[in-house]
Amino acid sequence: MADSNDVIVELKNTIKEILENLCEECTEDGGVLRALAEHFGVNDSSVIIEAAIEAMENGEDYPYPVVHFNFTMAKDIEPESYGKIADLLNDINVVFQTGEYPSFGNFCLYKPLGQIFYGYKMPINIGALEGEQENIKFFIATVLDQLDLFVDLVLYVAQGDVNLTLEDYLNYLNGLNDLYDLQEKAEKLEEMIKEIESRN
């Protein structure tokens, strides 16, 4: 069992190192690793990344370790916006699972704290830790890339500023020549917002 605990400590240290490389700083409180990733989307938003190693039931065998990741994108959302936000997040999750932007996890609206976060629980094979470390790096990089694409949509809807739909936003993304050209994204996003405002 000590060997297993040593591997869990090594895994936690690996995750902390990955987050420090991405975010410069990573803290730990109560077993939860926390870091702040910055400069997402056209609006230059920040995302809070949290990671905790948990044990999931595994029948009569030892509990199976998983890393529970949360990426918080918005907080202090007004309760009157919950219905609209829940509909949007469901639509995004469907696109993530079936559409052209496949993803590992899902967006969630956590009503007790008025938060929108992206969550995923990654099972870990402690017998193949080196490979799992590469999986974690790939997972985090992939999720941050997707959040960079969708953070503006989530925040606009969360703030209730404009009647922006997922269909509008996907048309905007599909019309970009380069998904990573910030100037093009900013110009076309502004055009889209103005067009939506003129319709209402």
List, for residues 95-125, the tens digit of each pLDDT value: 999 878 888 899 999 999 999 999 999 988 8
Which of these, 28, 29, 48, lies nearest to 38 by C-alpha position? 48
Cβ neighbours for 84, distance < 8 A, ≥ 6 positions apart: 157, 160
- The confidence score (pLDDT) of residue 60 equals 63
- The confidence score (pLDDT) of residue 37 equals 94
- The confidence score (pLDDT) of residue 61 equals 63
Which residues of the chain are under the pLDDT cut of 70? 1-4, 56-63, 161-162, 200
- The confidence score (pLDDT) of residue 2 equals 41
Structural contact between residues 68 and 121, judged by C-beta atoms closer than 8 angstroms: yes
CA distance 198 to 200: 6
Helix axes 129-159, 82-98, angle to 10 degrees: 140
Residue 61 sits at φ, ψ, to 5 deg, of -80, 175
Structural contact between residues 85 and 116, judged by C-beta atoms closer than 8 angstroms: yes
Give me the helices (H) in 24-128, please: 82-98
